[in-house]
Amino acid sequence: MLSGTGLTTAATALTNILYSGQWTMKSGQQYLRARFYDPASGTFNRLDPFAGNLADPQSLHKYLYAHGNPVAFGDPSGQFIDFANHVLHLGFAVAGIYGSAANFQLAAQEFGESISLLNSGNLEGFILFASGIGHTLLGVLGAAGAGSALANFNAFPGALRLVGGGAVPLAAGAVTALEYGAAASAAAAILWMAMADPNRGNRPQHGTQGHDRTSRDTVDDWANDPATVETRFNQDLVDANGNRVPGVRPDAQRIRKLPDGRRVVDVVEVQSPSQTAKFMDDKIQKIKDLLGPDAGDVYWISPY
Amino acid sequence: MANEMRFIEVELKGLSYEELDAKMRGLEFPQLSSLLNSRTTKVGDTAASLLIERGICNELVDAMLNGCFTSKKGKIRALNVLNSFGCSCPRSHEGYKLFVLDRDADVVVSALFGLVFLQDLGNLTYIRQAMAKAEAGSTKIEFYNLAIQALKEGNPFIYSPHFHDRRDVWGIDKNRFGHRVGSFNRREG
């Protein structure tokens, strides 16, 4: 197929440099980097050192050149067919790693917040907990897909395998599915983050009328203060730059600009009638610890 | 009364805070105070919220003295309702004095909060008496001691370091603790 002996007489090449950048040796064999090709016998001088890919049965053939289709594909190294395959599988691997990491991070945030909410008797925590389980599963799928893509890094593109139709074995289908799962995991994480609550403004009421009223009054108070940069009602805690600090959802918080231009975060928690003063003090201390140097005025107040 | 309350509780089960507020708004003080004992957080907390809104103080102290609050949650809610009135409730110390002897540490912690923020040195006697009856080495002792220190030093924030008297109900000395009293909207730009 390269410049081997065929049914018709091959023209004599004017140069040693052949198709796909191969090189003819003095022995007459053609150098394909990993092994030599003998045009006289029409075979390679040894087995293909690339073990092949279980998901791509044609790649297992030890003597076949470019899956028997040199028009469509090349094999510049003598091992496997196309650089594009690398790119595709690398893409699946990157998508899987990203999707896995993003989903695990989202799950960790949701588990942390759900525990905090459930501890304070807020049933919204169940929804967050369920979402955390969903993101964990997506994270596992992303990791498995990334693993599969890395294992098949040198393999035939999954898309072409599918086009190949019925000859594709079940195992290959599973591997392909995992790789597409990696891409799905990444896409789901990106979509979720794009659609997620921007963590600004107000969330719905989560306590008694008095609790809600007291919290809103605090936010309204701050809204009239020129030092206030932005306010949040019943949203995830943020640091002075507006980045989420998972694990707590204060009743009211604001980012405040100090006269020297530095920003701090003020937080107010409204006591629920069944919570003790000790519980509230511990809760505020936790928020202060989470905010560190970003902590401004962090207090709890009684409802009215 | 007990049967009536059980019936009301069943009727209120599963409602949202908004629905509870609308349904319970029509209840009288005896029913609301009884619902402070509810095991359902939403029901008990809504009852407390409505009592705070109504500002009913002396009847609440009477209910405390008459043993109406039987559960730990009920006692804590009743104390928090009392705390929300601050110094404006002339008989509140009677309720605090009773619950500072309670066997549950959380109830004691809540009662001590009131006794400390009343800032009446006469309350030291109640606290010392309660401490004398407490089991040596119990967590309650730590809070009794903290309360005594706060009262002696005239600094209630020793007892509750992160509390802010938003509505200025405790008559806290503004010269010393002005930043811990009143609206939060008093910042320089």
Question: What one-character-per-residue DSSP string does A208-223 give?
Answer: -HHHHHHHHHHHHHHH
Confidence of residue B41 (pLDDT cuts 50, 70, 90): very high
Residues of chain B found within 8 Å of residue A262, distances taken between Cβ atoms: none
The domain boundary residue, chosen from A177, A195, A213: A195
Inter-chain touch A297–B184, beta carbons under 8 Å: yes
pLDDT number for residue A26: 59
Inter-chain touch A226–B113, beta carbons under 8 Å: no
Mean pLDDT of B127-155: 95
Say whether pLDDT at B149 is over 90: yes
Residues of chain A found within 8 Å of residue B41, distances taken between Cβ atoms: 121, 272, 274
Residues of chain A found within 8 Å of residue B53, distances taken between Cβ atoms: 209-210, 304
Inter-chain touch B188–A225, beta carbons under 8 Å: no
Residues A189 and A227 in one domain: no
8 A C-beta contact, residue A176 and residue A161? yes
Q: Give the minimum alpha-carbon distance from B137 to chain A in angstroms, rounded to a whole number.
A: 18
Of B48, B77, B185, the CB nearest to A221: B185
Confidence of residue A16 (pLDDT cuts 50, 70, 90): low
Inter-chain touch A302–B81, beta carbons under 8 Å: no
pLDDT number for residue A174: 66
Closest-CA residue of B relative to A285 is: B162
Q: Which burial class, exposed, middle or buried, applies to B99 when counting CB atoms under 10 A from its CB (0-12, 13-18, 19+)? A: buried
Domain enclosing residue A283, as ranges: 202-301
Q: Please, which residues 264-283 of chain A have a Cβ atom closer than 8 Å to chain B? A: 266, 268, 271-278, 280-281
A224, A225, A257, A278: best to mutate for the B interface, most B CBs within 10 A: A278
- Residue in the block written with tokens 């009421």: A205
Residues of chain A found within 8 Å of residue B17, distances taken between Cβ atoms: 205-209, 212
DSSP bridge pairs for A298: A267
Say whether pLDDT at A1 is over 70: no
pLDDT number for residue A202: 76
Mean pLDDT of B29-41: 95
Residues of chain A found within 8 Å of residue B60, distances taken between Cβ atoms: none
User: What is the rounded distance in angstroms from the CA atom of residue A10 to the CA atom of residue A13?
Assistant: 9
The domain boundary residue, chosen from A195, A218, A235: A195
Does the model's pTM come out above 0.90?
Answer: no
On whether residue A133 sits in a domain, the answer given is yes
Q: Per the structure, how many domains does chain A have?
A: 2
Inter-chain touch A274–B185, beta carbons under 8 Å: no
- Residue in the block written with tokens 């705070």: B52
pLDDT number for residue A4: 47
Q: Please, which residues 3-42 of chain B have a Cβ atom closer than 8 Å to chain A? A: 17-18, 21, 36, 41-42
Q: Which residues are CB-neighbours of A173 under 8 A, at least 6 positions away?
A: none
Residues of chain B found within 8 Å of residue A301, distances taken between Cβ atoms: 163-166
The complex scores an ipTM of 0.94
User: What is the rounded distance in angstroms from the CA atom of residue B167 to the CA atom of residue A300?
Assistant: 12
Q: Which two tokens stand for residue B15?
A: 């409602």
Q: Which two tokens stand for residue A37?
A: 């090709």
On whether residue A153 sits in a domain, the answer given is yes
Sheet holding A36-38, edge to edge: A23-24, A30-31, A36-38, A43-44
Helix, strand or coil for residue A301? strand
Nearest to A248 by CA among A220, A229, A268: A268
Residue A185, amino acid: S
- Residue in the block written with tokens 């409602």: B15
Say whether pLDDT at B131 is over 80: yes
Say whether pLDDT at A276 is over 60: yes
Confidence of residue A206 (pLDDT cuts 50, 70, 90): confident
Inter-chain touch A259–B161, beta carbons under 8 Å: no
Q: Which residue has the higher pLDDT, A44 or A100?
A: A100
Say whether pLDDT at A272 is over 50: yes
Q: What is the pLDDT of residues A233-249, one digit of tens each?
A: 999 899 999 998 988 99
On whether residue A76 sits in a domain, the answer given is no
User: B58-65 and B72-85 helices cross at what angle (nearest 10)?
Assistant: 150
Helix, strand or coil for residue B100? coil
The domain boundary residue, chosen from A145, A166, A195: A195
Give the number of other Cβ atoms within 10 Å of residue B103's Cβ.
12
Q: What is the pLDDT of residues B77-104, one digit of tens each?
A: 999 999 999 999 999 999 999 999 999 9
Mean residue pLDDT across chain B:
93
For the ranges A51-65, A142-156, A278-292, B13-27, which has the lowest average pLDDT?
A51-65
Of B45, B49, B185, the CB nearest to A224: B185
For the ranges A108-122, A254-268, B127-141, B166-180, which has the lowest average pLDDT?
A108-122
Nearest to A37 by CA among A15, A60, A63: A63
Q: Please, which residues 219-258 of chain A have a Cβ atom closer than 8 Å to chain B? A: 221-222, 224-227, 256-257
Residues A253 and A165 in one domain: no
pLDDT number for residue A152: 73
Residues A207 and A258 in one domain: yes
Q: Give the minimum alpha-carbon distance from A297 to chain B in angstroms, rounded to a whole number.
A: 9
Say whether pLDDT at B136 is over 70: yes
* Cα torsion B34, B39, B40, B44: sign: positive
pLDDT number for residue B4: 76
Inter-chain touch B80–A302, beta carbons under 8 Å: yes
Residue A159 Cα distances to A56, A81, A92, A231, A239, angstroms: 11, 15, 12, 49, 45
For chain B, the domains span 88-184
In total, the C-beta contacts within 8 angstroms joining chain A to chain B are 128
φ/ψ of A230, rounded to 5, equals: -160, 155
Q: Give the minimum alpha-carbon distance from A224 to chain B in angstroms, rounded to a whole number.
A: 7
Inter-chain touch B184–A266, beta carbons under 8 Å: yes
For the ranges A74-78, A214-218, B18-22, B145-149, which has the lowest average pLDDT?
A74-78
Q: What is the pLDDT of residues A64-112, one digit of tens each?
A: 655 555 554 555 554 444 566 677 778 888 899 999 998 998 888 778 7
Of A218, A259, A281, the CB nearest to B184: A218
On whether residue A61 sits in a domain, the answer given is no
Closest-CA residue of B relative to A267 is: B184
| Helix (H) or strand (E) segment spanning residue A244 | none
Residues of chain B found within 8 Å of residue A218, distances taken between Cβ atoms: 166, 184
CA angle A218/A220/A225 to nearest 5° reads 95
